[in-house]
Amino acid sequence: MNSPERRYPDPVVDDESRPFWEGIEQGVFLLKRCRSCSRTHYYPRSICPHCGSDDTGWYRSAGQGCIYSYSVARREAVPYAIAYVTLDEGVTVMTNLVGFEFDRIRVGARVRLDFVRTEGGKRLAVFQPA
């Protein structure tokens, strides 16, 4: 299991990402979708990286997905599992996995959204077994 002592750095928030982090504080994982080409992208940008349109809008992810890949950083003071999770909305996001025994993590396993607290008391999105 992940040790409770793992210390998560605070997120870096800027004008473009502020709505995302405000969503996280409220327990919501927001994604950006382009109204011009209809594609979702991540990390969220004001200009769609697929078609270049500036007509992008936020919507709420269902917070469900599966593990695309992962690795356990074994040499860190508190080992942790970094992962890419492919959300059911189609984008793959970098995250950490919590609530797993490291040796039982499998690529393809279903996971769901969870939250941890950062060093500065902010919420951070992670994923746990579905």
Partner 1 sequence: MPRKAKAFIAGAYEHPTRLATGKTLAQLHAEVAMGALRDAGLEKSDVDGYFCAGDAPGLGGLSMAEYLGLNLRHVDSTETGGSSYLVHVAHAVDAIAAGRCSVALITLAGRPRADGVSSLGARSYGASPDVGFEMPYGPTVVSLYAMAAMRHMHEYGTTPEQLAWVKVAASQHAQHNPLAMLRNTVSVRDVVESPVVADPLHRLDCCVVSDGGGALVVVSPEIARTLGDRCVKVLGQGQTIKHLNGGSFDLTQTGAVQSGRAAFSEAGLAPADIDYVSIYDSFTITVLITLEDLGFCEKGKGGQFVSDGNLISGVGKLPFNTDGGGLCNNHPGNRGGMTKVIEAVRQLRGEAHPAVQVPDCMLALAHGTGGTIGTRMGSATLILGGNNA
Taking a C-beta distance cutoff of 8 angstroms, is the pair 61, 29 a contact?
Answer: yes
Q: Does 115 bind partner 1 (CB under 8 A)?
A: no
Q: Which is nearer to partner 1, 71 or 130 (CB)?
A: 71
CA separation for the pair 29, 33 (Å, rounded) = 13
Cα 104 from Cα 77, distance rounded (Å) = 21
Q: Is position 76 an interface residue for partner 1 (rule: CB under 8 A)?
A: yes
Q: Cβ closer to partner 1: 26 or 76?
A: 76
What is each CA distance from 105 to 30, 64, 99, 124, in whole angstroms? 26, 16, 10, 21
Q: Which one, of 1, 15, 14, 17, lies nearest residue 125 by Cα?
A: 17
Site for partner 1 in 10-49 (CB under 8 A): 10-14, 16-17, 21, 39-43, 45, 48-49
* Subset of 84-113 contacting partner 1 (CB under 8 A): 84, 90-96, 102, 107-108
Interaction of residue 53 with partner 1, rule CB under 8 A: no
The residue ranges that bind partner 1 (CB under 8 A) are 8-14, 16-17, 21, 39-43, 45, 48-50, 68-76, 80, 82-84, 90-96, 102, 107-108, 118, 124
